[in-house]
Amino acid sequence: MLDGFETLTRTYRGATRSVYRRGEGPGVLVMHEIPGITPQVAAFARTVADAGFRVELPQLFGTPNKKIAAGYVLGQMARACIRREFLVLASHEASPITEWLRDHARELHEEAGGRGVGAIGMCLTGNFALALMLEPSLMVPVLSQPSLPFPFGKERRAALHISPEQLAAVKKRSREGAGVLGLRFTGDPLCPPERFETLRRELGPGFEAIEIDSGKGNPHGLGRAAHSVVTTELIDEEGHPTREALDRVLALLEERLRP
């Protein structure tokens, strides 16, 4: 159980997963980061739901509400690396689990109504929102510190973890109004600047980037290892850049999803 959420299951393509639901309004699919649905991820989902949206949070790995610890993070990372649903080194191919998530987004829209749905990915799931853009109802793709493929080598640092055909569809959707929002810290080694440069080059004005200074001596007091923009590193104070990033996510959901 996850406090404040209804627990249900979703079955697509022969796979059944637990899903946590909260709120009413247009649908928003929140895809959690490594190591799982941590208290910080759950808090983010509550914030989105309390802003007037129906949030559905599928459990992809990990233990819901378990606190972050080094061993827990490394263990879940290792499990993700060997699971067939996640292609953590694929530069030009999306992870198979995005097909299940695309079906989830479609059903969420059918049930919740509105103009469409939003999809917010984080870290290992960050790029998944791009692959989900093949679902016509997805209107708000948000990539928070997108970390796949793991940035080993020059090619992977710039890659987007989708196929050329999927990229063509993403470019078309972005021109039609489903532009992509990306969030990252400038010093984040898992989400290098080359990845956002690729998004700028491929999507042009269809890509909006929020890059928060986490370099040495930055004015925000952020550590050089800062990674999770709207969860672990969120400073919920007026004027702080992480709070401004969260506010932008909520505003974009309001602009595109509200009838």
| pLDDT surpasses 90 at 259 | no
Give the phi and the psi of residue 29 in degrees, each rounded to 5.
Answer: -95, 120
* Tokens matching residue 157: 């640092």
Provide DSSP, 103-126. Answer: HHHHHHHHHH-SS-EEEEEEGGGT
* Tokens matching residue 145: 């510190």
The reported pLDDT for the residue numbered 1 is 78
The reported pLDDT for the residue numbered 183 is 98
Amino acid identity, residue 221? G
| Separation between Cα atoms, residue 152 and residue 242, nearest integer Å | 27
| pLDDT surpasses 90 at 13 | yes
| Separation between Cα atoms, residue 49 and residue 200, nearest integer Å | 30
| Separation between Cα atoms, residue 18 and residue 42, nearest integer Å | 14
Provide DSSP, 47-85. Answer: HHHHTT-EEEEE--SS-TTPPP-HHHHHHHHHHHHHSTT
The reported pLDDT for the residue numbered 224 is 87
* Architecture in CATH of 6-257: 3-Layer(aba) Sandwich (3.40)
76: left (phi over 0), alpha (psi -120 to 50) or beta: alpha
Q: Within 13 Å of residue 200, how many CA atoms lie on the same side as its CB?
A: 9
Q: What is the mean pLDDT of the chain?
A: 97
Q: What is the pLDDT of residues 183-224, one digit of tens each?
A: 999 999 999 999 999 999 999 999 999 999 999 999 998 998
The reported pLDDT for the residue numbered 54 is 98
0.75 cut: is pTM over it? yes
Neighbouring C-beta atoms of residue 182, cutoff 10 Å: 26
Q: CA gyration radius for the chain?
A: 17
For 77, residues 6+ apart whose C-beta sits below 8 A from its C-beta are 34, 35, 124
Domain residue extents for the chain: 6-257
